[in-house]
Structures are given as C-alpha cells and as structure tokens.
Amino acid sequence: MQFIRSFRITRRDSFTRSVADSTRINSEIRAREVRVIDVDGQQLGILPIREALSIATDKALDLVEVAPNANPPVCRLMDYGKYVYERQKRERESRKAQKQIEIKEVRLRPKTDEHDIQVVINRIRKFAKEGAKIRVRIRFRGREMQHPEVARTLLERVANDVADIVAVESMPIYDGNSMVMLLTPPS
C-alpha cells in the first residue's frame, strides 16, 4: 500500500518587515508630492509620487519616506534591505557598547576563619577589577543572631582591607537572617 502526500510549497520574500517599523516605502507612501533626495544626497526637487516611484524603479532602488511630517514629505532613494541591515547592525553595536552592571555576591559566616576571609577578599578584588558590584553577605544561624556586632566588625574589616580598590555603597544592614553590605568599584 502506497501513500501519496502532496505538499504545497510557498515562497516567502527574502526579508520581512517588522510590524514595529513604521517607515513607509514605495507604494505605501500616501502623499501626492514628495521631495526626493538621490543616493548621493542631492535633491531632485519636489516631484509627484508616480514620477518619484518610476525614478526609483528605473534605478532598481526603493523610495523610502525619511521625514513624513515635513511639508512635502521627504523621501530618499536607497536600497531598503541594506538600510535595514545597517540600522540593525548599529543597534547591535550600541547594545554591545552598553555595559551591563553585574552584582556578584560573596558569603561569609560570623565564625569564618582568617584564611577563608583572605580568600574572600581576593575574590572581591577580582570582581572589582572586572567592574562588577559586590554584595558581601554574612549569614546567621541560631544564636549567632544575638551578636550582630561580630558580623558588623567583620564587614567593616573586609571593607577596610579592600578600600584601595572599592568603595562602600551601602553600609551593613540587616536583611532577614543575614547582614549585607554593598561594595562598588570606582567609576
């Protein structure tokens, strides 16, 4: 027994325009007359929309409305696909240039030993060199909560040891069953 399946193959355009893109191109331009700017940036003058579209098709370019609120609207002859690609590339570069601020966290206990405190201090220095903010958290268990001064002195000691590379953004505060201090690298 043999089954025959039929598939309908549809072809999509090479690129699709996003709904959020409000730039009008070619036949989407509603004005009767437009001010046309050539690829080189020279003005061709105020032309009827049909004549501007025929110039664009003769040059195998798109007529893109760049200033819709002007009177008459300003349109530029350009390759719209290339324009969209370059704009997206610029947006990606600008997003890459924006630095995301990270908050790294190091945890201690009131009874943390001396060597472990030095390891934490070295880790804070490493995070500060990377440009991240550092949250130092001391967690309490059981009766340790009755002696918050031990945690406060430990946090102040850590802050003094790394004062050359970071600044204290917020002093030690109680946060549930822990005490937290926020350190920030210099700008």
- Single-letter residue type at 5: R
74, two tokens: 């300003």
pLDDT of residue 12: 46
Please compute the mean of the pLDDT values over residues 16-39 and round it to a whole number: 77
Instruction: Using pLDDT thresholds of 50, 70 and 90, give the confidence band for residue 133.
Output: very high
Domain assignments of the chain as residue spans, ordered by start: 26-96, 103-184
Name the fold adopted by 26-96: Ubiquitin-like (UB roll) (3.10.20)
pLDDT of residue 8: 54
30-79 tens-digit pLDDT? 888 889 998 888 888 888 988 888 888 888 888 888 888 888 889 889 88
Asked whether 51 and 74 are in contact (CB, 8 A), the reply is: no
Q: Is residue 167 helix, strand or coil?
A: strand
Name the fold adopted by 103-184: Translation Initiation Factor IF3 (3.30.110)
Instruction: Using pLDDT thresholds of 50, 70 and 90, give the confidence band for residue 139.
Output: very high
Asked whether 185 and 128 are in contact (CB, 8 A), the reply is: yes
Examine domains 26-96 and 103-184 and report if their fold is the same: no
Please compute the mean of the pLDDT values over residues 113-127 and round it to a whole number: 93
- Of 157, 156, 158, 152, the closest CA to residue 174 belongs to 152
- DSSP one-letter string for 12-78: --SS---TT----BGGG---SEEEEE-TTS-EEEEEEHHHHHHHHHHTT-EEEEEETTSSSPEEEEE
